Structure 1
Amino acid sequence: MTLETPEDMRSTCGLRHIAAGRPVPGSLHSVSVSIPDVASVIGFESGDPATLSRISWGYPRFRTHPYVTRVAELLARDDSLRLGGGLVLTRTERAARAAAAYAGLTPDAVFTGHGVRGVRLPAEEPARARVRTYIQHTGGHLSSREAEDVLLNAGLIADRQPEASADDAPADAIRAHLADAYGAPDAADVSLHNSGMNAVAAAISAVSEIQRENGRRRWLQLGWIFFDTMSLLEKRVIDVEHTTVPDPFDLAEIARIADAHAGELAGIIAEVPTNPSLRTPDVPALREIAARAGCPLVIDATIATPYNVDVLPYADVVCESLTKYATGSADVLMGAAVVNGSSPHAQDLRSALRHHGDEPYRRDLARVAARIRGYAERIDRVNANTLVLADHLERATGVVRSIDWAYDSRSVANYRKVERRPDAPGGVLMVDLKVPLERVYDRLAVAKGPSFGAEFTMASPQIFIAHYDLLATPEGRATLRGRGLHRDMLRISVGTEEPERIVETFERALRPE
């Protein structure tokens, strides 16, 4: 497979069709893959062998990166290690030990070889699946750049892929940049993690550890949020109880449940806006509810970004996937957790976050440090383009039923309460189509597949990708409908291209056949 250098990436994506299975944006370290039509999406999600033979790439937490696979093969062939096959490689020993414990394995399942940590999988499939589940939902996977270095040192590849990086104290540079963006007075309040999910998992684990000493073990989840975050609670990846309020706008119900469980509530988890339904809860009101219940509030602000919303004053911890808008290049996974220094738990949180998360690999830090310099300007352009595209889509009444976004009628009042400035909706739109998804998605000439938040426009059949298991059964489809979701919804991540070209691209896809 021919891959592009960073200088080629923009032209590789752009506003055009991309062949099925092509890494997006084209870098060796791409975090997305082109799945350009609904038939391929169904084949990919259902595990169809013919489809997977064409589309072998994927989001790194879900599909093992080719270089990581090669490192596992290298370890399995090393007779001195006596590992055999069936290995899951992790960023740290902490992640490996935690994954083994979650699967019920003994500590000797954890190994180190060629500087890489991981878990030796047992023969029993349930335990094997639990190891993979833990690593996926907590983002503790081995970085593709670390795998690249292992293969280079072993003489199995000729060189690293060239890319722009900032190697001078990159972690310090990233923390300082984020502290300024969030309004945190001390860069020490920012911890960096192996992925966005690693930051979220660390935040929930850190709060849970602190609160467990007070006999508090229950989390309150607001709305239908990112499915990996839900899985941390539902699959007991983190050993806590949880209660869900389906509608994040229902303050009366949130307050009722929080008050009813006040003595046992460990924390409240919310997204601004929620993923995938893009609903913005009343953040100041949530702060009051959490304070009354005596528990921290954790907010994931990835979609809105700290340049558009000011949520740190209301939260105890704010999490962000730096994979998205902070870098915009869609070629590196990283996350951050920002502690509110005024939180009564601030000191404990700073320590616990680092204990429960996994530090990023040094070359990933260097890549993010180079890209984060353009964060604010990137968001300015995304905001402006989103306003233009949303206006166009709202007038396409023959095809579009409605659009969920920060400024829709249900969310706008709550969003305004935390918005830093006017005309700053972020770049994600969820479009409810009146026509079958295939009619628009298959014709749309943009990058199509998992992920969002790149500097180039992307589209995703998000319900298929995040909740294919629910689409497959009548009961599951009813569950989705109960949350305002169904198969014919298109998630759009607006990029930084010229707005006229973005509108023209969508206009062509929306035209009657």
Structure 2
Amino acid sequence: MPGFDLGESIPPHTAHAVSVSLPTWKSNIGYEEGEDWVIGRMATGYPRFFIHRSIQAFAADIVARFGSKNAKAFLFPTRQIAARCVSFVRARAPPAVAASLETVTLVLDTTKQVSEALASLSPVISAVLCSQEAFPFLKQYWQHSGDGVSSRRAEFCHSLFQDGLLCLEDGGATQPPTSPKPCRGPRRYQRGSSIDITKTTPSPKPAAGRDSGPGPDVQETSRFLEERFGRNLDVSFIQPARSAIKRRIAGSLRSDSELTTTPPPENEMASNSRGVVNLREEDVYLFPCGMSAIFNSHRALLGARGNMKSIEFGFAYVDTLKILEKFGPGVVFYGHASESDLDDLEKDLEGGKRFLALFCEFPSNPLLSCPNLARIRQLADKYDFAVVVDETIGTFANVNVLPFADIVASSLTKIFSGDCNVMGGSAIFNPNGRYYEALKRWASTEYEDTYWPEDVIFLERNSRDFVSRIDRINANAEAICDVLRQCPLVKSVFYPKYNESRTNYEACQLPGGGYGGLLSVVFRSREQAVAFYDAVDTAKGPSLGTNFTLTSPYVLLAHYQELDWAEEFGVERDLIRISVGLEETEHIVNVFKAALRVAEEGTGSQQ
């Protein structure tokens, strides 16, 4: 896995990879500065920040067909989401800029002869066309909400568009049909053995091309790739796959064996790691990514309870705060998540202030600190506010936070998937929560399941061994912590086991649960941090929770324009975040020891 070139996708040769290689400290700064020697070489990027090439290509074709010269387009999975984006931009952009917005919604052309499998997917793309000046405003909505189209949806619908199988929602044709033959949709929906071919898939010889059917060796390879990576989409398995994902998230794990189309017994959910016997599959909601889960949890609470400010408790991931700031009446930020912060909050509550909800992470990113959820729950019950906990880093295999929360959100892109090739998010409504009925009423009319079926198939297959991977990752993370904590170059190591908030973590820790696979390290000097980062022989790029170790100068990437502000909350600008993978423990420990030696030899030990 290590040894990526600048701008190469992580994992390599993966069409829908979630991360990208930024192998040196300088390349991370170059990325933030928008320097062409970095940006120009990026095959991909983290999907909410870097618009995937397949999405860009489809957007360009939509603009060419429906837009004006120099227009841009952002693609969304439904007309309603596109409308929310337009409302967001019109509230913030100058009137002349907002006036450039136009929405085009494309749906399956039902006048054409299409397969039942294709029709059952009801593929939709809603494009917001805009001027160059409006682009940054739309990009904010895309990044913060996480509600843009996935790259697989865009790739699939683009092929429909090119084949004349999408039409305008009002019935207008997008292009004349190219052939009188019946159109059944993309090839992988026409026969059971078709696959998406990537660079890692052997190509058939010309004599045995795709139209004439692959030879025996290629058929065998295709079968393996379909079984391992879900490249063939059998629509009869989409709902069972959704069900399996939801039950895993609920802590009611299904077998790792192949799915069947037989619905599972409802009473399977009575036994789960969440400690809530009345938890149902319908209480778990899926989203296209983790930020979409946070964004829509906030929308749900605003819809269920009305417009009130929220609280962000602790220094959390950057876009959570942006969502609370920009959507709704605002946010109060308690950046340290300390007991004294809780004291201050309690005084405000006693003084009559009221809030919509408290949002927190457990543990937080990147300091791995944990708030006192028991005390927060007591305050919430007394002063009538909701609690939303993002458990992405802790994972439900290590901790159980649902009894303390009204909503538990998670990014399934991370260790739940592990393979770094699909996005996803989830939110659980606690059936015992005070606002459960109001939230369910909101969801009955406002929730849209926009999680694209191909992404569902990938995530289901990736997550079958989720729990078995956690133990290895927990052990590797502790071993790396031990190495870093013994090194004289290291100023601080942040990890739930060693933080001051350890007791808060352990209050939610499951029997047999570990301390997670994410840690952060701060060196005594920037020179040491740079030397270590450049030398460490791991994958290096954005994201976390991958099955391989992934290292990142996280604060540079997340807070480059606000480094001084971040340091006010103990988040040092040269902090390095390490997401630990499944490598052999001895090997990954030696990788970190070698990088520390390079840092020490290159800079000297500044104790």
Which consecutive aligned stretches of 4+ in structure 1 deviate over 4 angstroms post-superposition? 105-108, 154-159
1:147 matches 2:158? no
Amino acid at match of 2:138: V
Q: How far off its partner does 1:209 sit?
A: 1.6
Counterpart for residue 247 of structure 1: 336
Please tell me whether residue 178 in structure 1 is matched to residue 249 in structure 2.
yes
Q: 1:446 deviation in Å?
A: 0.6
For the residues of structure 1 that align with 2:100 and 2:441, how far apart are their CA atoms? Answer: 25
Q: Which residue of 2 aligns with 1:278?
A: 368
Q: Does 1:69 align with 2:56?
A: yes
Is 2:42 aligned against 1:52? no
More divergent stretch after superposition (274-283 vs 84-93): 84-93
Query: What secondary structure is seen at the aligned counterpart in 2 of 1:359?
Result: coil
Which residue of the other structure, out of 440, 444, 466, is the alignment partner of 2:558?
A: 466
Correspondence for 2:130 among 121, 127, 137? 121
Residue number among 432, 436, 452 corresponding to 2:544 in the alignment:
452
1:32–1:58 contact (8 Å) kept in structure 2: yes
Give the aligned partner of residue 474 of structure 2: 383
Give CA deviations for 1:328-349 in whole Å, capped at 9, x if unaligned: 0111111000011001211222
Quick one: distance in 2 between partners of 1:217 and 1:317? 17
Question: Structure 2 length as normaliser, TM-score?
Answer: 0.76
Render the CA deviation track for 1:470-503: whole Å, top value 9, x for unaligned.
Answer: 23xxxxx2x2222112222110000011111110
Following TM superposition, by how much is the alpha carbon of 1:77 offset from its aligned partner in structure 2, in angstroms? Answer: 2.5
Letter paired with 1:504: N
- SS of aligned partner of 2:389: strand
Matches within 5 A, 1:94-113: 94-104=80-90, 105=98, 109-113=102-106
1:220 counterpart residue number: 311
- Deviation at 1:138? 0.6
Residues 491, 198 of structure 1: CA spacing in aligned structure 2 closer, same or farther, 3 A cutoff?
Answer: same
- Give, as a single letter, the amino acid of the residue that structure 2 aligns with 1:244: F
Are the equivalent residues in 2 in contact too, given 1:92–1:358 (CA < 8 A)? no
Matched, 1:497 2:596: no
Partner Cα separation in structure 2 for residue 108 and residue 53 of structure 1: 28
Distance in 1 (alpha carbons) for counterparts of 2:317 and 2:463: 24
Q: 1:218 to 1:458 in 2, by over 3 A?
A: same
Find the counterpart in structure 2 of residue 211 from structure 1.
305
| CA shift in 2, pair 1:198/1:119, >3 Å | same
Q: How much does 1:317 deviate?
A: 0.2
Matches within 5 A, 1:320-399: 320-353=410-443, 355=446, 359-396=450-487, 398-399=488-489
Q: Deviations over 1:64-91 (max 9, x none)?
A: 100001111221222xx35653101112
CA deviation after TM superposition for structure 1 residue 53, in Å: 1.2
The worse-fitting range, judged by mean Cα deviation, of 428-437 and 60-69 is 428-437
User: For residue 4 of structure 2, what is the aligned residue in structure 1?
Assistant: 18
CA distance in 1, matches of 2:275, 2:472: 22
- CA deviation after TM superposition for structure 1 residue 358, in Å: 5.2
- Determine the structure 1 residue equivalent to 2:266: none
Q: Does the 8 A contact of 1:61 with 1:136 survive in 2?
A: yes
1:24-68 deviations in Å (ceiling 9; x for gaps): 012110010000001110000111122211225210100110000
Q: How far apart, in 1, do the equivalents of 2:135 and 2:28 lie?
A: 26
Instruction: Quote how far apart the aligned CAs of 1:122 are.
Output: 3.5
1:221–1:82 CA distance, 2 compared to 1 (3 A): closer
Residues matched between the structures, number: 482
Measured after TM superposition, the shift of residue 241 of structure 1 is 2.2
Q: Which runs of 5+ in 2 are unaligned?
A: 91-97, 108-123, 164-185, 188-194, 198-224, 253-272, 602-607
Q: Which runs of 5+ in 1 are unaligned?
A: 1-12, 472-476
**Identical aligned residues as a percent:** 29
TM-superposed CA distance for 1:362, in Å, is 0.8
User: How far off is 1:350 after superposition?
Assistant: 2.9
- Compared with structure 1, are the counterparts of its residues 259 and 30 closer, same or farther at alpha carbon in structure 2 (3 Å cutoff)? farther
Q: Does 1:418 align with 2:427?
A: no
Residue of structure 1 equivalent to 2:493: 403
Residues 314-323 or 385-394, more deviating: 385-394
Task: Note if contact 1:173-1:369 (Cα within 8 Å) is conserved in structure 2.
Answer: yes
Q: Distance in 2 between matches of 1:341 and 1:83?
A: 49
CA distance in 2, matches of 1:344, 1:254: 21
Residue 384 of structure 2 corresponds to which residue in structure 1? 294
- 3-state SS of 2:74 partner: strand
C-alpha distance after superposition, 1:117-139 (max 9, x if no partner): 1211135x2x4322211121010
For the residues of structure 1 that align with 2:461 and 2:99, how far apart are their CA atoms?
A: 41
Task: Give the drift of 1:17.
Answer: 2.1
Closer/same/farther in 2, CA of residues 176 and 440 from structure 1, 3 Å limit: same
Residues 75 and 149, structure 2, Cα contact 8 Å, conserved in 1: yes
Residues in 2 aligned to 1:353 and 1:500: alpha-carbon distance in whole angstroms: 48
Q: Report the Cα distance in structure 2 between the residues aligned to 1:366 and 1:295, rounded to whole angstroms.
A: 36
Aligned partners of 2:275, 2:246: CA distance in 1, in Å? 12
Q: Secondary structure at the match of 1:442?
A: helix
State the AA in 1 paired with 2:389: I
User: What CA distance in whole angstroms lies between the structure 2 residues aligned with 1:38 and 1:500?
Assistant: 26
CA deviations 1:443-481 (Å, max 9, x no partner) are 01111110000111101100100001123xxxxx2x222
1:307 corresponding residue in structure 2? 397
CA positional deviation for 1:352: 2.9
Residue 86 of structure 1 aligns with an amino acid whose one-letter code is K
Whether the 8 Å CA contact 2:422–2:459 is kept in 1: the answer is: yes
Query: Please, which moves more after superposition, 141-150 or 411-420?
Result: 141-150
Contact 2:63 2:129 (C-alpha < 8 Å) held by counterparts: no
SS in 2 for 1:54: coil
Shift of 1:353: 4.6
What TM-score, normalized to structure 1? 0.89
**Distance apart, 1:261 and its partner CA:** 4.7
Of structures 1 and 2, the larger Rg is shown by 2
Q: Secondary structure at the match of 2:404?
A: coil
Q: Which residue of 2 aligns with 1:160?
A: 196
CA distance in 2, matches of 1:416, 1:197: 26
The answer to which of 81-90 and 359-368 deviates more is 81-90
AA of the residue aligned to 2:454: R
Using the alignment, how far apart are the partners of 2:541 and 2:412 within structure 1? 19
- Aligned AA for 2:521? V
How has the CA–CA distance of structure 1 residues 415 and 259 changed in structure 2, closer, same or farther, with 3 Å as cutoff?
A: same
> How many angstroms does 1:258 deviate by?
3.5
Measure how far apart 1:256 and its partner are: 2.1
